[in-house]
Chain A
């Protein structure tokens, strides 16, 4: 009975994380289409939400990697999965608050590894899987996206050199409808699968799925796909509007090549079962498309911040995951810990919302008085 209640809590937390993943990361996927005015924000978000949903059904290899390739599935317990999710969500919220670009995917993997280290020690973490399936592909993928986008933009400019700007720009804006759609599909394929993998881990821990034969149930695929699509639709457009104005000035050909490079890398990686960060791949594509035009067009400082955030994400999420597990076990031996932590997170969220609203109310009369 207690185990079933805890499983329900873990599944809800995982789906909430998936929702925030759609809410947070989809901006990276469609911001280039918005900034080149290829598509209106609301239409972009609606298409992205639909394709995120569809993309989640294409492949299950990444889910299998998360469920079996990073930690020993047989050693996982529900409090470990819960602590990992809290670690990932905490890191995501903290980086979102300070405006630091980070990867939800690496936060999730880091959170689960940190909780597992705190619970069972290093013996149950597949460090070979972590290095071979997460760290090395994560380092390589943005570089590949950079190279693909840089080569593609140089060749594209050469091919279209004799054209008048109007028809060329219109042509590539039209192309961005498709490249943006492909990238949304790729995002759904790679990112939704990570939540599927974590829920599958929880089901293994609860005994609903045997550790010797791990498969992803259909209801997990449908709920994860729905959560990421809903997150994209509800929150994405607000973030996109901001990003669309702040992002580096790029033309439609650069937007098209950056999105196509990103989609090609993420879809190829999903096929191999590598859980990538869409954020970092897209950053690689955008920087490549900028550098292919001229090196000074790239904000190298911003690229540096992204690199720093990438380095910090895995260990920081792991530290929060480990701490959450320790606190969770410390409360009545772990029986009530996850429920107390979940209640504390909800109360903290409500308080933060109330304080923010109060600040807005006090700021408005002050502005009106000026």
Chain B
């Protein structure tokens, strides 16, 4: 093992990179889907398309629930480990 390898915990740093990447990008994308779902649901409701409005509403609710689960799960992991 090299000196740099002994000093720098590459595994932990790599874990930091992919955890932040997955959590950060993942939550932003899922939340963007929720924003799209809410906006489209309102548009469909105004256009008198109830089935499409319902589908977009379900998509928005599922996305928001996924965001909430990710946040709560992340804090729970931090608090318990």
> Which residues of B3-60 are within 8 A (CB) of A?
6-9, 12-13, 15-17, 19-21, 23-25, 27-29, 31-36, 38-40, 42
Q: Interface-forming stretch among A42-50, A154-162, A361-369?
A: A154-162
Is B65 part of the binding interface, using a Cβ–Cβ cutoff of 8 Å?
A: no
Is B71 part of the binding interface, using a Cβ–Cβ cutoff of 8 Å?
A: yes
Q: Interface-forming stretch among A132-140, A295-303, A350-358?
A: A132-140
Is B1 part of the binding interface, using a Cβ–Cβ cutoff of 8 Å?
A: no
- Contact partner, A137, options B13, B29, B31, B67, Cβ 8 Å: B13
Task: Tell me which of B9, B25, B36 has the highest count of chain A C-beta atoms within 10 A of its own C-beta.
Answer: B25
Whether the pair B24, A148 counts as a contact (CB closer than 8 A) is: yes
A118-B72 Cα distance, complex, nearest whole Å: 45
Residues of chain B contacted by A152 (CB below 8 angstroms):
24-25, 28-29
Whether the pair A274, B16 counts as a contact (CB closer than 8 A) is: yes
- Contact partner, B42, options A128, A137, A167, Cβ 8 Å: A167
Whether the pair B20, A160 counts as a contact (CB closer than 8 A) is: no
Whether the pair B8, A144 counts as a contact (CB closer than 8 A) is: no
Residues of chain B contacted by A151 (CB below 8 angstroms):
21, 25
A168-B28 Cα distance, complex, nearest whole Å: 13
Q: A182-B71, A271-B78 are in contact. Are A128 and B28 (CB under 8 A)?
A: no
Whether the pair A167, B38 counts as a contact (CB closer than 8 A) is: yes
Residues of chain A contacted by B15 (CB below 8 angstroms):
268, 272
Q: Is the interface of B mostly helix, strand, loop or mixed?
A: helix
- Contact partner, A272, options B16, B35, B38, Cβ 8 Å: B16
Distance in angstroms from A239 CB to nearest chain B CB is 26
A267-B21 Cα distance, complex, nearest whole Å: 12
Whether the pair B24, A260 counts as a contact (CB closer than 8 A) is: yes
Residues of chain B contacted by A189 (CB below 8 angstroms):
78
Q: A155-B28, A264-B23 are in contact. Are A59 and B78 (CB under 8 A)?
A: yes
- Contact partner, B78, options A144, A153, A260, A267, Cβ 8 Å: A267
Q: A152-B24, A155-B25 are in contact. Are A172 and B35 (CB under 8 A)?
A: yes
Question: Binary interface profile of A, 218-248, with partner B (CB < 8 Å = 1, else 0)?
Answer: 0000000000000000000000000000000
Distance in angstroms from A203 CB to nearest chain B CB is 24
10 closest A-B pairs by beta carbon, nearest first, are: A171-B35, A264-B24, A152-B28, A148-B24, A167-B39, A264-B23, A159-B32, A268-B19, A156-B32, A261-B24
Q: List A residues at the B interface (Cβ < 8 Å).
A: 58-59, 128, 131-132, 136-137, 140-141, 144-145, 147-149, 151-153, 155-156, 159-160, 163-164, 167-168, 171-172, 175, 178, 182, 185, 189, 253, 256-257, 260-261, 263-265, 267-272, 274
A168-B39, A269-B16 known; 4 new pairs, CB 8 Å cut-off, are: A167-B35, A261-B24, A268-B20, A272-B15
A-B pairs with beta carbons under 8 Å apart, 5 shown: A160-B35, A164-B39, A178-B71, A185-B75, A270-B78
